[in-house]
Amino acid sequence: MPQTNAHPGSALETCGLSLVYGSGETAVTALDGVDFAVSAGEVLALMGPSGSGKTSLLMILGCLLRPSSGEVWVEGRAIANLPDRDLGRLRLQRMGFIFQSYNLFPALTAAENVQVALELKGRDLNDAAGLLERVGLGKRLHNFPRQLSGGEKQRVAIARALAGDPPILLADEPTAALDSTNGRAVVNLLCELAHEQGRAVVVVTHDPRVGDLADRVVRIEDGRLCS
């Protein structure tokens, strides 16, 4: 009998999630009984010390890693038994990812970086201009990453994450490489994307600015949620 989720309206939910890397004497328990939920329209900041399990949890929420035990629901759908191919399709269609180091292709312009994601998702490549305008970069379409500031690069990465209009955004330390003005602009943008467009946004961060602006802060220590 499959488990049922406690919060059927959640964008993402987990129950009893555990993750052990390796085995035997070198095994590391990265997550230990994590019950977690985030709703559409909500910005959730996941905070905790280095090594506490933040990236591991984000990777499981993003269907990039399977847990050792426990269940994950994506928009109410249990994914434990989904084959890898279906999981990949779910990730592509329903999720966008943002990373600390932007992960842009240096030899491609801002527009081309966004087009790579549109192509992967089978969307119209002409959408790139609109997405870059949405993040305030309508005048930087043809700039290469080296011609952009850190904050602008991160906004290109957010535009890329928005390709295909995913309802779930997952960000791992998106402001860690930015000064306070650019960091705040990126967090404000993520908040707008949640509040005005109803996306669920999970932001892993050490940055108190993100915690201050998020709708909810969840703390993790030693693989366990503590609030």
Ligand X SMILES: Nc1ncnc2c1ncn2[C@@H]1O[C@H](COP(=O)(O)OP(=O)(O)OP(=O)(O)O)[C@@H](O)[C@H]1O
Residues that bind ligand X (CB under 6 A): 21-22, 28, 30, 48, 50-56
The binding track of 49-88 with respect to Mg ion, each residue x by CB under 5 A or -, is ------x---------------------------------
Residue 81 near residue 3, CB atoms below 8 Å = no
How buried is 53 (Cβ within 10 angstroms: 0-12 exposed, 13-18 middle, 19+ buried)? buried
27 binds, among Mg ion, ligand X, none (CB under 5 to 8 A by kind): none
> What distances in angstroms separate CA 86 from CA 73, 100, 213, 222, one per listed residue?
14, 27, 34, 31
* Nearer to ligand X among residue 121 and residue 206 (C-beta): 206
How far apart CA 90 and CA 96 sit, in angstroms, is: 11
* Nearer to ligand X among residue 39 and residue 55 (C-beta): 55
Residue type, 215: D
Under DSSP, the state recorded for 202 is E
88 binds, among Mg ion, ligand X, none (CB under 5 to 8 A by kind): none
* Nearer to ligand X among residue 48 and residue 166 (C-beta): 48
40's tokens: 């559409």
**Cβ of residue 201: shortest distance to ligand X, in angstroms?**
17
**Cβ of residue 70: shortest distance to ligand X, in angstroms?**
15
* Nearer to ligand X among residue 30 and residue 163 (C-beta): 30
**Cβ of residue 126: shortest distance to ligand X, in angstroms?**
37
SS3 137: coil
Which residues neighbour 49 within 8 Å (Cβ) at sequence distance 6 or greater?
A: 221
Site of interaction with Mg ion (CB under 5 A): 55
